[in-house]
Amino acid sequence: MAKSPVTVTVTGAAGNIGYALLFRIASGAMLGPDVPVRLNLLEIPQAVKAAEGTAMELNDAAFPLLDSVNIYDDVNQAFEGSNVALLVGARPRTKGMERADLLAANGGIFGPQGRAINDHAADDVKVLVVGNPANTNAFIAAASAPDVPADRFNAMMRLDHNRAMSQLKEKTGTPISEIEKVVVWGNHSADQHPDVSYATLAGRPALEMLDAEWLSSYFVPTVAKRGAAIIEARGASSAASAASAAIDHVYDWVNGTPDGSWTTAGVASHGEYGVPEGLIFGFPTISRGGAWEIVSDLDISDATRAGIKRNIAAAQEELDAVRDLGIL
């Protein structure tokens, strides 16, 4: 028997990430090859026409799994019955800006969206925040949705995780499929702490194959500053790789991570590794039965402990800034 459609709400649907994301959702790449999708697109009124153009193309692609596409500029309608919500719609940074500079521009978007999710989404809703600064925006949305468990609000750290794997592949030639147990701790900002302490490359400990100097002087800053490097090169913020990371994140959340492996997800802390409860933080995570579990029993090095501490401070600084702006 055919499955009933899953309602997926995508905000910022007419933007660059939206354009790279929607076609992959409709193809089945995000939820699976036998799951029909009902797409609800949310845009600001000025961009509704552009979203209509994207919807025309989605329909013209004749995806067998695409049940329907609906476009809204009303936040409550857009989240009605939503099972999966991808909060992408927000301003991207441009050359020279740090992600924290986006707080004033974007922070105000996520309170009303959190409230609309609280009041209108399905009971099983899963929310992934992509719009920057993603961890803080996810915190704002979660804080505005008291009836939805905080564990259902994630921030996208998967792009950072994928970037780390890509650097390891480039350095060692190890295929991506044989790179395991990388993690990017913390905030999706230049403070993030990419960590290969537990990683294996084709079964061998990464720390035996990589020298400490390359890790600290090249690997960590290259991964942490990759977003800025892409803005510098393209003249625009990463879009297709961000969309791909969102697909990976939700796929794993819904379908589970492979046995014996983990990934990085930005999830609400329950106090693991000294991260204050509720902070949405990049952790090593395993997905089972539609829920993330934080891998909480790792013996962490002094460098990792320092990286986590730096990220707690960065995340709290962003939260203080939104409190000063009256957003929280």
**Residue 15 binds ligand NAD, judged by CB under 6 A:** yes
Distance CA 83, CA 294 (A): 22
Backbone angles phi, psi at 83, to 5 degrees: -95, -35
The residue type found at 222 is T
- Site residue total, ligand NAD (CB under 6 A): 29
The site partner of 307 among ligand NAD, ligand LMR, none (C-beta below 5 to 8 Å per kind) is none
Binders of ligand NAD in range 100-159 (CB under 6 A): 109, 130-132, 134, 156, 159
Which one of ligand LMR, ligand NAD, none interacts with residue 47, CB within 5 to 8 A by kind? ligand NAD
The answer to whether the beta carbons of residues 14 and 50 sit under 8 Å apart is yes
Contact partner at residue 89 from ligand NAD, ligand LMR, none, CB < 5 to 8 Å by partner kind: ligand NAD
Distance CA 308, CA 71 (A): 40
Q: Of residues 161, 188, 193, 249, which has the active-site annotation?
A: 188
Binding of ligand LMR by 194 (CB under 6 A): no
Is 46 annotated for ligand binding? no
Nearest alpha-carbon partner for 182 in 151, 209, 154, 158: 158
One residue of 47, 65, 116, 138 binding ligand NAD per CB under 6 A: 47
Among 12, 36, 227, 282, binds ligand LMR (CB under 6 A): 227
Question: Is the CB of residue 31 less than 8 Å from the CB of residue 250?
Answer: yes
Which of helix, strand or coil describes residue 175?
coil
- Residue 159 beta carbon to ligand NAD: minimum distance, rounded to whole angstroms: 4
| Binding track, positions 154-193, relative to ligand LMR; x by CB under 6 A | -----x----------------------------------
- 22: which 2 tokens? 């929607």
Is 12 a residue that touches ligand LMR (CB under 6 A)?
no
Q: Decide: helix, strand or coil at residue 168.
A: helix
Query: Identity (one letter) of the amino acid at 98?
Result: E
Q: Rounded to whole angstroms, how far apart are CA atoms 252 and 37?
A: 17
| Amino acid letter, residue 14 | A
| Least distance in angstroms from the C-beta of 234 to ligand NAD | 10
Interacting residues of 323 by C-beta distance below 8 A, sequence separation 6+? none
Q: Is 180 helix (H, G, I), strand (E, B) or coil?
A: strand
Residue number with CB closer to ligand LMR (36 or 92): 92
Is residue 188 among the annotated active site residues? yes
Options 135, 167, 192, 237; binder of ligand LMR; rule CB under 6 A? 237
Closer of 93 and 152 to ligand NAD (Cβ): 93
Nearest distance in Å: CB 106, ligand NAD:
6
Distance separating alpha carbons of residues 228 and 216, to the nearest angstrom: 19
Does 99 help bind ligand LMR (rule: CB under 6 A)? yes
For the bound state, the minimum distance from the C-beta of residue 21 to ligand NAD, rounded and expressed in Å, comes to: 9
Report the partner that residue 230 touches, choosing among ligand LMR, ligand NAD, none (CB closer than 5 to 8 A by kind): ligand LMR
- In angstroms, the CA 68 to CA 14 distance is 17
Torsion of CA 136, 141, 147, 151, to 10 degrees: -50
Q: By the criterion CB under 6 A, which residues form the site for ligand LMR?
A: 92-93, 99, 132, 159, 227-228, 230, 237-238
